[in-house]
Copies of this chain bind each other. A is one copy, B any other.
Amino acid sequence: MQKQGNQTIKFDNPPQIISSASIVGNKENQGPLGEYFDEVISDGYNKQPTWEQAQIKMTKDVMDKTLYKASLSKSDLDYLLAGDLLDQAIASNFSARKFPVPFIGLYGACSTMIEAMALGAMMIDGGAANKVLTYTSSHYQATERQFRTPNEYGDKYPPYKQRTVTGAGATVLSDKQGGVQISEATFGKIVDLGVSDPQDMGSAMAPAASDTILQHLNDVGRSPSDYDLIVTGDLGKVGKSLVMELLSEKGCNVEQNFADCGVMLYNSSQKVGAGGSGCGSSAIVVSSYLLPQLMYRNLDRILVLGTGALLNSVTPLQGETIPCIAHAITLTATGHLVK
């Protein structure tokens, strides 16, 4: 691999994504992408005694499903790369207990899935691994309770607020060429323009997303039209509009080919404020919708950004603003349908 420009890594032998899967909640299943997901859990408890254990079970199940779809066993993996929004990333850590595979824990808030895929691709291209499993998850009740009003108090949805996605997604990256490849990765800087309202994550994250998009295009010497789609993780409607405005101010027009996973996930009748948020948002849309679109050549080259707001439940009460980050990967279809 080699560094290209200031923040981008170009892979010499771009790792292939040989398998992906997702498990979602009922609300996500009822949205426009419902038909694409692999499984739906019965309700928020997922047959477990607590919401946290429901999320851990969903995460374990998506790891197994992704391996099964790749016809691999746990011992075929070199590394697990994962993280999530629950304090101390317990959904990711606990779900790896039965995996006899080295675990590399990450935290990038809702950018974690793309961070994991970027690091996994680096490990493979650098020669440290042949196969890695990347995964993450989020869970409406577990996350909302931790970060926002306790659910039981009855939660209001102003138009700029987003709903945490219930969903788990995973991918297996391989050193074998072909299929859909991760060809570049652009790790983002922390950007904090002073937004302090933890209900308005879209506005907080938009400047970080815009920064990484501009940096990526500059590093690789392309324009937005060189991509079939530029898609962010969970900016929601407010953040999506703001990114398009910020990019437009810099002379970068993405009117034709810009989307946000959090917006794609729900119908307007589903009353989710500005859309979905959470680690699961980009993870399930990438795993079950975007990757198949690339595999079947409905899309040829896309830029996917994981977008994360790096606050916790204490910092807004202490008067802090919200530092945000966005990591990007370029996904390229080679047209070789390799098993």
Residues of A within 8 A of B (CB): 1-3, 7, 9, 49-50, 52-53, 78-79, 83, 85-90, 93-94, 96-97, 99-109, 115, 119, 122-123, 125-129, 186-190, 192, 310-315, 318, 320, 323, 325
16 new A-B contacts, CB < 8 A, other than A85-B88, A126-B127, are: A52-B314, A87-B87, A87-B313, A88-B109, A88-B310, A88-B311, A88-B312, A89-B310, A90-B315, A94-B315, A97-B323, A102-B186, A104-B106, A104-B187, A105-B108, A119-B119
Report yes or no: B102 in contact with A187, Cβ–Cβ below 8 A. yes
A127 and B123 alpha carbons, distance in the complex (Å): 11
Nearest-neighbour CB distance to chain B for A106, whole angstroms, equals 6
A333 and B7 alpha carbons, distance in the complex (Å): 31
Contact of A102 among B7, B94, B125 (CB under 8 A): B7
Nearest-neighbour CB distance to chain B for A324, whole angstroms, equals 9
Report yes or no: A189 in contact with B105, Cβ–Cβ below 8 A. no
A242 and B314 alpha carbons, distance in the complex (Å): 36
Report yes or no: A188 in contact with B103, Cβ–Cβ below 8 A. yes
Report yes or no: B87 in contact with A190, Cβ–Cβ below 8 A. no
Selected A-B contacts with CB under 8 Å, 28 pairs: A1-B127, A1-B128, A2-B127, A49-B318, A52-B315, A79-B187, A83-B105, A87-B312, A87-B314, A89-B310, A90-B312, A93-B323, A94-B310, A94-B315, A97-B192, A99-B189, A102-B186, A102-B189, A103-B189, A103-B190, A103-B325, A104-B115, A104-B119, A104-B187, A105-B106, A105-B325, A106-B106, A122-B128
